[in-house]
Structure 1
Amino acid sequence: MCIAPKNPSEATIAANRAAADKYDMANRQDFADSRRGLIADLPGNVTGADGHVVFDAQAFDYIGDESPAPDSVEPSLWRQSQMIRPGGLFEVTKGLYQVRNNDIANLTVIEGDDGLIVVDCMAGVESARQGMALIREHVSDKPVAAVIYTHTHIDHYGGVKGVVDPDDVASGKVPIIAPGHQFDKYAIGENVVAGNAMARRAAYAFGSLLEPGPQGFVTCGIGITTTAGPEVSYISPTDLITETGTRREIAGLEFEFLYAPDTEAPEEMHIWIPQLAALTCAENANHTLHNIQTLRGARTRDARNFARYLDETLERWGDEAAVHYGPHTWPVWGNENVTAFIESQRDTYKYIHDQALRLANKGFTPLEAAEVIELPEELGRNWANRGYHGTLHHDVRAVYTKELGMWDGDPVSLHPHPPAESARRFVEFAGADNILAEGRRAIDDADYRWAVEILHKLVFAQPDNTEAKNLQADAYEQMGYQAEGPQWRGIFLSAALELREGVKPMPFTTASKDTILGMPIDILFDFVAVHVDGPKATDVDLRIDFAFTDEDETWTMWIRRGTLNARRGTSPDTQLTVSGPKGALTAVLLQPGGASALVDSGAVSLDGDAEALTTLGSVLDEFEPAFPIVTP
């Protein structure tokens, strides 16, 4: 069943036209900058090994360079999408190039004397491979001398096997440079251990379930799109940057790093290349306000640290920087423009942090503060501070979460009933007919926020009530059309889609083969532990040793009191020892029922009671990637 989206209401059309008046629409500099230095257009679609289209190069042609915003797209979001649509190979400055907009993130390549340095690798192997082909054709065929990950997010390392041969990394020929003491832990732990929930939420936020078009998906705001079913790869870093001021000479160029942990990612760094006067602040400075708390779900970030490290960057290199290039969107040129850009981003994050805590200290709850805090005009009218990734509203609330925790301070929210039970009680006293009538009235009056709130009670109390679901979908749809933030748009329009048509299959998962195999062993056991069904495992007493023959490590894992723990070493009372390389033991841990086939093939060996694996398999839970969101 496919139900066509509805048209924007008269109220939505009026709201979007009025929104344009508050923006600096006369400022056209970004139109020129986003197209500056184009060497070659994208050659066409990006396809996977099985022939499926990973990125459709024509899907966004409807976003014309000069076309006005459709009535179903907020005008600021439409303008940002016009900046993002042009894709291809660009020269940023002599010796520094970017492939943009065949993936959500950029591929940056710097040409040294005798090699290429790749800074961030896009999300998927296929898009990165297409990007490198453009570099080879139009710039240089020199070998890759180094790969640099600026931070721990999947769209910056996922394409690594599209730019470098893993054997060259393993041999030491090509280093992979990355920030932090525990890059593997944060890169893989964040994206995989809670990855099923994160991927489901991300499918909403990034519009992965929506068709491109004026009444569906527009762009991601920071990049053209999340690609469809890419091959996500991973290679662990070989050279970790843990101190500001660390330098590396690569292919005749000097790179200096500023370590910026607990900012946009748990591990992140800024990079200065003095010979090129080129600077990147990774994702701590963007052509958008960033997330202090992602809507896909990740650790809450420190807005104060964004400002602190941006200021330190200005202090170190602000007088010299001639260009700022980022892993998303387009560069900024000219020292005056670069410093103004970073200063404005710095002050925006500092303002959000300070004003949220000012109001917290006056007794405001997170939602109350988010409703009243607005950026000063000089910051708010700067296009780079608009909410194309984070939004001011949810960033304010995230500061509360970071500094004060999950409780909003109101006792009524401390121990509420779960949503379905609360909804059932609400509908019992208010009456389903009364709620439907109020929902219709609110929609007729364009009071969409109240409409979805009141109808949520009825949908959760009566999930088979088609009229209630369709009404709520209508309200969510109009909210999506009015949203400046593409993630808000994606969430609201995806909610409308699910209410009308039911849960859709998930287009991707974060738990790719490479990311699972790349897990440090302690994270691997954490990943298995979140699959343990506690009630089923309550009476289990199980201990298994796992000997990782290729890593020369043995770990003992035990389940007692419904809990899985693991530590290095062997146990004198183990029931079973499983030996083999990490890849094979990973398969045993996640699918114990397949162990016998691995034993038969010689991949693993067992010493002890093989029934211990049967017991392990009996208490492991499975996750449904496409779980319901807008119904119980």
Structure 2
Amino acid sequence: MTTASHPPTSQPPQRSPYAAAPTTAAQPALQETPVREPREDSPLVGKGPRIEAVDTGLHVLRGQGNSFVIELDEGLVIVDAGPGGKVTAGMIEAVRHISDAPVHAICYSHGHLGYNAGVPQWLAHAQARGEPAPRLIAHANVPRRYARYDETGALQRRMAEIQFRQPHGFFDRHLHNTRPTETFEHRLTLGQGVRRAELLWAPSETDDAIAVWLPEQKVLYGGPALIDSIPNVGTPFRTMRDAVRWADTLERLAGLGAELALREFGPPIVGAEQVRQVLGHTAQALRWLRAEVVQRMNDGMGEREVLASMAYPPELFDVDWMKPTYGDPSYIVRDIYRSENGWWDRNPTSLHPASPQAVAEAQAAAITDKAAVIAQAQALAERGEHQLALHVIDLLATAQGDDSALAEARRLKAQWLRERARQVRSYVSRSLYQVCADRIEGGQAQAFGIR
């Protein structure tokens, strides 16, 4: 495995071609950065005591999920600085209850927005204590991701508002990025001796994810590769994630021989056998999904046909660590499908489509008996077939206008979206159903292309 290590004085990573200009690392001090807090029911809020020892010199620190603290001779290593504001302030305070050592390094578990928005507060904390700025360490792919996020900042914030059910503007000052000062490709070692920490590239949810391995203590911090629910592949707003690559990473991490594995979200996995079982089983489920989708694609099925034909074996998916509480197995199916297919839905009408509004208006105008469409949709809903009812009501509900039948169709659509939110387990699906219902009822759906 290639090793790439950089001293604290190394040059910043080369700027990505995505970016016209880099984002400066300088950020306002803590008292000048008001950040509203996440909802208490957000899956991103860490649960449990703020800081908890898991082994000698090793601590789980609750921030945006589970951060990780390692006590080295050189100082503290913090994995993920938190989302900023009061959460990160609480993280800093909790760390100071267990150690007065300087922060030697802040490591980015991956490049997703929010997990390290609190870096400026840690930098300000070090400065106030008269200590050198911590090393900011990330995988080499993080700067490129940050450049892409800078370019699409408004889009990223709007998607986050919908996915996490936050008011418009909530993330405008919440999702800033601080570039790492050092990057590595495959492995980087911090410290030496009993508490040597090895940063390992662990591509999974992102191509810039890392894990942290303490070989002498046999403790693994899995980062985003290791969560307490089904792997987060294929969520509706996100770019494609490779299920097989995630399985490869889990199998590689399982081979380390960890006796304690810490998840980015959820409780730790205790015992070498349980660690191997959870990681190996999850990898097996991902490979099963890949094989099943590939077989159906080779048989000529399109995406919707593949989705309709899937049945998920309970022995693979009805276990504690595969719960669809955030993602969903059907999301993974979609991502596997699109990894081998283009955007076309195989309906030739959609190759060069008319505008969505023109289609909706023409469709509604062609229906002379709108009451019959509404009645049929209502009959389906009364039988508990809310998804079919939504497909039928969309014949009218996507059209704008004050026509009473169209208004009734929109009202029913919002009502049935809320019902679907009660029926599904995935947090993301529930959020999208509920927010879309809110926007349809408020006449704001078109602002983000919601129909």
TM-score bracket, shorter-length normalisation: 0.7 to 0.9
Aligned to 2:117: 158
Contact 2:64–2:114 under 8 Å retained in 1: yes
- 1:287 counterpart = 2:228: yes
The one-letter amino acid paired with 1:300 is: M
Aligned to 2:447: 627
Contact 1:54–1:228 under 8 Å retained in 2: no
In 2, the alpha carbon distance for the partners of 1:85 and 1:627 equals 34
2:322 to 385, 389, 402: 385
Q: Measured at CA, do residues 419 and 118 of structure 1 come closer, stay the same or move farther in structure 2, by a change above 3 Å?
A: same
Q: Please, what TM-score do these two structures have when normalized by structure 2?
A: 0.82
Aligned to 1:440: 378
Measured against aligned partners, the alpha-carbon deviations of 1:254-290 in whole angstroms (never above 9, x if no partner) come to 22233234x3113222221113311123212211123
Q: Measured at CA, do residues 462 and 233 of structure 1 come closer, stay the same or move farther in structure 2, by a change above 3 Å?
A: closer
Measured against aligned partners, the alpha-carbon deviations of 1:493-514 in whole angstroms (never above 9, x if no partner) come to 111111222339xxxxxxxxxx
Q: Please, what TM-score do these two structures have when normalized by structure 1?
A: 0.60
Contact 1:98–1:106 under 8 Å retained in 2: yes
- How big is the shift at 1:304? 0.9
- 1:303 counterpart = 2:243: yes
Structure 1 unaligned residues grouped into runs of 5+: 1-46, 61-79, 211-226, 505-625
SS of equivalent to 2:208: coil
| 1:152-191 correspondence runs (5 A) | 152-165=111-124, 174-180=134-140, 182-189=141-148, 191=149
Aligned to 1:98: 60
SS of equivalent to 2:324: coil
Contact 2:197–2:215 under 8 Å retained in 1: yes
Contact 1:121–1:155 under 8 Å retained in 2: no
Q: Measured at CA, do residues 273 and 483 of structure 1 come closer, stay the same or move farther in structure 2, by a change above 3 Å?
A: same
SS of equivalent to 2:105: strand
Contact 1:125–1:160 under 8 Å retained in 2: no
Q: Measured at CA, do residues 201 and 52 of structure 1 come closer, stay the same or move farther in structure 2, by a change above 3 Å?
A: closer
- How big is the shift at 1:114? 4.7
SS of equivalent to 1:267: coil
In 1, the alpha carbon distance for the partners of 2:215 and 2:379 equals 62
Aligned to 1:406: 343
In 2, the alpha carbon distance for the partners of 1:257 and 1:369 equals 38
In 2, the alpha carbon distance for the partners of 1:430 and 1:326 equals 53
Root-mean-square deviation over aligned CA pairs: 3.0
In 1, the alpha carbon distance for the partners of 2:46 and 2:136 equals 28
SS of equivalent to 1:307: helix
In 1, the alpha carbon distance for the partners of 2:193 and 2:303 equals 50
- How big is the shift at 1:349? 1.7
2:107 to 148, 156, 161: 148
Q: Measured at CA, do residues 340 and 327 of structure 1 come closer, stay the same or move farther in structure 2, by a change above 3 Å?
A: same
- How big is the shift at 1:362? 0.8
In 2, the alpha carbon distance for the partners of 1:108 and 1:486 equals 25
Aligned to 1:194: 152
Contact 1:292–1:390 under 8 Å retained in 2: yes
The one-letter amino acid paired with 1:121 is: A
| 1:299-448 correspondence runs (5 A) | 299-315=239-255, 317=256, 319=257, 321-431=258-368, 432-448=370-386
- 1:455 counterpart = 2:429: no
Structure 2 unaligned residues grouped into runs of 5+: 1-29
Q: Measured at CA, do residues 84 and 368 of structure 1 come closer, stay the same or move farther in structure 2, by a change above 3 Å?
A: farther
Contact 1:198–1:296 under 8 Å retained in 2: no
Q: Measured at CA, do residues 155 and 228 of structure 1 come closer, stay the same or move farther in structure 2, by a change above 3 Å?
A: closer
- How big is the shift at 1:196? 2.2
- How big is the shift at 1:363? 0.9
In 2, the alpha carbon distance for the partners of 1:166 and 1:365 equals 54
- How big is the shift at 1:249? 2.1
Measured against aligned partners, the alpha-carbon deviations of 1:421-478 in whole angstroms (never above 9, x if no partner) come to 2222322233332322223222222221122222223122234443222111110010
The one-letter amino acid paired with 1:462 is: Q
In 2, the alpha carbon distance for the partners of 1:363 and 1:233 equals 44
In 2, the alpha carbon distance for the partners of 1:162 and 1:252 equals 30
In 2, the alpha carbon distance for the partners of 1:334 and 1:388 equals 24
Q: Measured at CA, do residues 114 and 104 of structure 1 come closer, stay the same or move farther in structure 2, by a change above 3 Å?
A: closer
Contact 1:469–1:499 under 8 Å retained in 2: yes
Aligned to 1:39: none
Contact 2:72–2:191 under 8 Å retained in 1: no
The one-letter amino acid paired with 1:237 is: P
Identity of aligned residues (%): 21
Aligned to 1:241: 184
In 1, the alpha carbon distance for the partners of 2:123 and 2:66 equals 16
SS of equivalent to 1:473: helix
2:210 to 241, 245, 269: 269
The one-letter amino acid paired with 2:177 is: Y
The one-letter amino acid paired with 1:290 is: P
Measured against aligned partners, the alpha-carbon deviations of 1:219-273 in whole angstroms (never above 9, x if no partner) come to xxxxxxxx877644433222212124x4232797322233234x31132222211
SS of equivalent to 1:276: coil
SS of equivalent to 2:178: coil
Contact 1:119–1:147 under 8 Å retained in 2: yes
- 1:54 counterpart = 2:16: no
Measured against aligned partners, the alpha-carbon deviations of 1:134-181 in whole angstroms (never above 9, x if no partner) come to 1212x112110111112111132211123234987xx9752112112x
Measured against aligned partners, the alpha-carbon deviations of 1:199-231 in whole angstroms (never above 9, x if no partner) come to 323322222259xxxxxxxxxxxxxxxx87764
| 1:483-632 correspondence runs (5 A) | 483-503=424-444, 627-631=447-451
SS of equivalent to 2:340: helix
The alignment of Structure 1 onto Structure 2 pairs a total of residues equal to 414
